[in-house]
Amino acid sequence: MRNTKKLTMVAMMIALSVVFHTVEGMVWNPAEFVVPGFKLGLANIVGLIALFKFDSKTMITVNFMRVMISSLLTGTILGHVFWLSLSGVVLSTAMAILLHNKVKLSPIGVSIGASAFHCIGQILMAVYLYNQIRMIFYLPVLLLLSVPTGIVTGIISQMVVKRLK
């Protein structure tokens, strides 16, 4: 019975992260006029909850399935947007797991590190996809913004994890 409960929770987390990701992409974001591509990263909250409530494997499952399902729903599968999203998720998930399992940081600390590595992954993929090394100069701006966004998503994750225990 316990496995059924976990499976149900994971399925709900995947669905919620897909909804967050899709809605965040559809809603008008005035910050994109200043910093193109800037998003708060609401879907990452669900991945952090999966890591702190369950384990690394669950976080990997939730994050990977979010990218796959969202890409299928929006028609971007295997396009540039898909690869940018996947590269960000791979690096941010790896960093989150490292910071959680080895360094033992709080959800806020893990979220800040994951947010920064999400930006690094996306910029590296953008440099590769568009063959424009100068895109690397955009990284400091994104890294600077990853701190407050990481704090916000980390605080929300921490609040939810405390309520779920």
Distances in Å between the alpha carbon of 93 and those of 24, 52, 108, 137?
Answer: 19, 13, 14, 24
Domain ranges of the chain: 2-164
Let me know how many helices (H) and strands (E) the chain has, helices first: 6, 0
Q: What is the mean pLDDT of residues 23-46?
A: 84
pLDDT the model gives residue 39: 84
Q: What is the mean pLDDT of residues 43-64?
A: 97
pLDDT single digits (tens) 13-28: 999 999 999 998 888 7
Phi and psi torsions of 29, nearest 5°:
-120, 105
**How many angstroms separate the CA atoms of 14 and 43, rounded?**
9
Within 13 Å, how many C-alpha atoms sit on residue 57's CB side?
A: 2
**How many angstroms separate the CA atoms of 46 and 51, rounded?**
9
DSSP code, position 27 = S
**How many angstroms separate the CA atoms of 13 and 28, rounded?**
24
The topology (CATH level 3) of 2-164 is Arp2/3 complex 21 kDa subunit ARPC3 (1.10.1760)
Residue type, 127: V
pLDDT single digits (tens) 93-147: 999 999 999 999 999 999 999 999 999 999 999 999 999 999 999 999 999 999 9
Say if CB 108 and CB 154 are below 8 A apart: yes
Paired tokens of 46: 């669900």
Angle CA 137–99–113, to nearest 5: 25
